[in-house]
Amino acid sequence: MSSPDDRAPTRRLVLAGIAGLAALPLGGCLRPLYAPTASGVGLEDALRAVQVEPVTVAPTGEVLSHHLRQELVFALDGTGRATTEGPKAYRLETNVVVSTRTPIVDATTLRASVATLTGTARYRLATLDGATEIDRGSVQGAVTYERLVQRFATVRAERDAQIRLAKVLADDIRTQVALALRSAPPTATLATGT
């Protein structure tokens, strides 16, 4: 008579084999993110064809607005050049809502010692003329920073947190835009390169 320990490797091999056979039909369905897009243009070229509009945010978020736009330009273009260079076929509009929460309060001074900066960025990707919407969505991000007794140190920490939040949001938006451009219909501007 065999013990349960003798059957364990055989059972695992059978289950692995069944899982492998089940995955075979899906093998051709997977497409790498950086494969050519549906229009036949490389994804990097399609990302470079996105014109990043100025980011709108509440009046106290100028730092976040500036850095989010710059991060998006760099993330989509990859070179950090001005967004006016090269042919543009798409327009990316972004709106950010920011809030600050202070979950931890020092019992001695009754001051918040840590703050969490949370941002929700809503974006819209459309053709350059705005007639056809390619994608619309939102991404969220959160970063924390320390609030010190020294006022200027706290202001600088908040500014650094806004810059970090801009990077988080830009990375997520870039991923969503790349996914949308993979299956976007071809545009005349991208096809001709003018």
Q: pLDDT for 29-79, tens place per residue?
A: 556 566 666 666 777 888 888 889 999 887 777 888 999 999 999 888 876
More confident residue, 2 or 52: 52
CB neighbours (10 Å) of residue 75?
21
Q: Check whether 26 has a pLDDT greater than 90.
A: no
**145-154: average pLDDT:** 85
Longest dimension (CA), the chain: 77
**116-126: average pLDDT:** 93
Q: What integer pLDDT is reported at residue 103 of this predicted model?
A: 75
Of 122, 144, 126, the C-alpha closest to 134 is 126
**Residue 7: band (very low, low, confident or very high) from pLDDT cuts 50, 70, 90:** low
Residue type, 28: G
| Confidence (pTM) | 0.75
Tell me the domains of the chain and their CATH numbers: 40-192 (3.30.160.150)
State how far the alpha carbon of 142 is from the alpha carbons of 97, 149, 153, in Å: 12, 23, 20
Q: Which residues of 113-142 are buried (b: 16+ CB within 10 A; e: fewer)?
A: bebebbbebebbbbbbeeeeebbeebbebe
Q: What integer pLDDT is reported at residue 95 of this predicted model?
A: 93
Q: Check whether 83 has a pLDDT greater than 70.
A: no
How high is the mean pLDDT of the chain?
80
Q: What integer pLDDT is reported at residue 5 of this predicted model?
A: 56
**Residue 81: band (very low, low, confident or very high) from pLDDT cuts 50, 70, 90:** low
Q: Check whether 190 has a pLDDT greater than 80.
A: no
Q: Check whether 194 has a pLDDT greater than 50.
A: no
